[in-house]
Amino acid sequence: MRCNVRGSVAADPRGAALSAAHPAGAGPDATAFGWDVGGAHVKVSMADRSGAVLDVAQWACPLWQGLDHLERTVELVFERWPQARAADARHAVTMTGEMVDLFADRAEGVRAIVATLAHRLGARLRFYGGDAGWLAADACAANWRHVASANWLATARWVATGVPNAVLVDIGSTTTDIIPIVGGRVVARAATDAGRLATGELVYQGVVRTPLCGIAHRIDFGGVTVNVMNEWFATSADIYRLTGELNPLHDVHPSADQGPKTQVASSARLARMIGRDAHEADAIEWRRFAQRWRALQLREIGMNLARVAAARPGLSTAPLVGAGCGRFLVAALAREEARGYVDFGTLAGVPDSCAPWAATCAPSVAVALLALGEHHAGEQGARRVA
């Protein structure tokens, strides 16, 4: 298995690539590209015919600002992997970007994203539709409900092939997916975002973009419990810059005040959330304050994990499978609950150097490998018929 890794920080955090692995000169075996088109990022994985993940990358793509951002991201993918332009390149796509307020509704969002990609990626493009299977571009409009926000299902179904009883917890920049797996099957109680918000299987908590007023309305500071300002003065990225847990390569969106992404600047933004200035406390106290925010976010995610596990009593001690750039919180939850922990990157069987990026971009890896599995199954069926 090959995966040449060389990290680099994006020059333009709103439109440039984050290097998960340096572009691999993979040649003709690099036949599958898995795409996860979100509202804030596009993640793409490249795998060969054998199912080896060769390269993984992520780009910031603020889709709410216009489809031109997606167009530019496609160009960046082509720059990184020229073979992605080839007529015989296979492209497997899942998405959540249809939710952004650029579109009047989700159906329009699916149609727009599908049309944009179909124009650029060729005839071997397929969209993940869950129980509806792999759909050609012209079938997505009628089946948009199956295509919309199905990336969690792709990840969970691939995880289920390796860990038959587990809870997948994918914590990204913006959201958390909590997916129960029993007997090698995904047993989520809901399939849509609306339904999953009701069951606790979708939680709008992430480690980069979440406004702090969305984590808690009251918090302790200086021995007093104070109200939190309902203002977008700081985001969860400020917490994890101060705790030292946020990889700079995942910190690609502008800060709340468009200011620096330093610990000093993050402390100032946290201070604003409770009507203070950074000079009113020292660096140690602001780090402690960040730890309190961390504990509150972890508690919120943990409460939803408990709701999901309670619906399937057999999962009360099952291992957690961690994915996403915030999976360090999944590992923390596993420790708190004395559960086993399995990192998605390890499960994917990629080299240690590539595992963190495979885990961060788990849905793109999953759709690439699921598409390859479907392709191989079709080839074997054709041989049996022959």
The pLDDT score that the predictor gives to residue 348 is 87
Most distant pair of Cα atoms in the chain: their distance: 77
The pLDDT score that the predictor gives to residue 26 is 45
| Residues 41 and 114 reside in one and the same domain | yes
Cα(13)–Cα(18) distance, integer angstroms: 9
**CATH at residue 266:** 3.30.420.190
| Residues 151 and 226 reside in one and the same domain | no
Q: Is residue 8 part of a domain?
A: no
With the CA atoms of 27, 61, 96 and 102 taken in that order, what torsion angle do they form, in degrees rounded to the nearest 10?
-140
The pLDDT score that the predictor gives to residue 31 is 79
Q: Is residue 101 part of a domain?
A: yes
How many CA within 13 A on the CB side of residue 113?
33
| Residues 287 and 370 reside in one and the same domain | no
Tell me the two tokens of residue 283: 């660096």
The pLDDT score that the predictor gives to residue 385 is 38
Q: Is residue 124 part of a domain?
A: yes
Q: Is residue 322 part of a domain?
A: no
| Residues 48 and 143 reside in one and the same domain | yes
Which of 298, 317, 350 is the last residue in one of the domains?
298
Tell how strand 125-128 and strand 341-343 pair up.
unpaired
Q: Is residue 102 part of a domain?
A: yes
The pLDDT score that the predictor gives to residue 375 is 52
| Residues 150 and 221 reside in one and the same domain | no
The pLDDT score that the predictor gives to residue 191 is 93
Map residue 110 onto helix, strand or coil. Answer: helix
Which of 281, 298, 315 is the last residue in one of the domains?
298
| Residues 151 and 23 reside in one and the same domain | yes
Q: Catalogue the E-assigned strands of 2-101.
A: 17-19, 30-37, 41-48, 53-60, 90-95
| Residues 93 and 23 reside in one and the same domain | yes
| Residues 147 and 223 reside in one and the same domain | no
What lies within 8 Å, CB to CB, of 382 at 6+ separation is none
Q: Is residue 121 part of a domain?
A: yes
**CATH at residue 372:** 3.30.420.40
Which of 266, 283, 298 is the last residue in one of the domains?
298
Bridge partners, residue 225, by sequence = 220
The pLDDT score that the predictor gives to residue 321 is 98
Domains identified in the chain, total number: 2
| Residues 103 and 37 reside in one and the same domain | yes
The pLDDT score that the predictor gives to residue 30 is 55
Range of the structural domain that residue 286 is part of: 212-298
Dihedral pair phi/psi, residue 45, rounded to 5°: -125, 150
pLDDT in tens, the chain (386 residues): 334 433 322 333 333 344 444 444 444 455 799 999 999 999 999 999 888 899 999 999 999 999 999 999 999 999 999 999 998 899 999 999 999 999 999 999 999 999 999 999 988 999 999 999 999 999 999 999 999 999 999 999 999 999 999 999 999 999 999 999 999 999 999 999 999 999 999 999 999 999 999 999 999 999 999 999 999 999 999 999 999 999 999 998 899 999 999 999 999 999 999 999 999 999 999 999 999 999 999 999 999 999 999 999 889 899 999 999 999 999 999 999 999 999 999 998 887 888 999 999 999 999 999 999 875 444 444 344 34
Neighbours of 340 (CB within 10 A): 13
The pLDDT score that the predictor gives to residue 353 is 80
- CA–chain centroid gap for 147, Å, is 17
Distance linking the first and last C-alpha atoms of the chain:
32
| Residues 224 and 148 reside in one and the same domain | no
Tell me the two tokens of residue 32: 């599958």
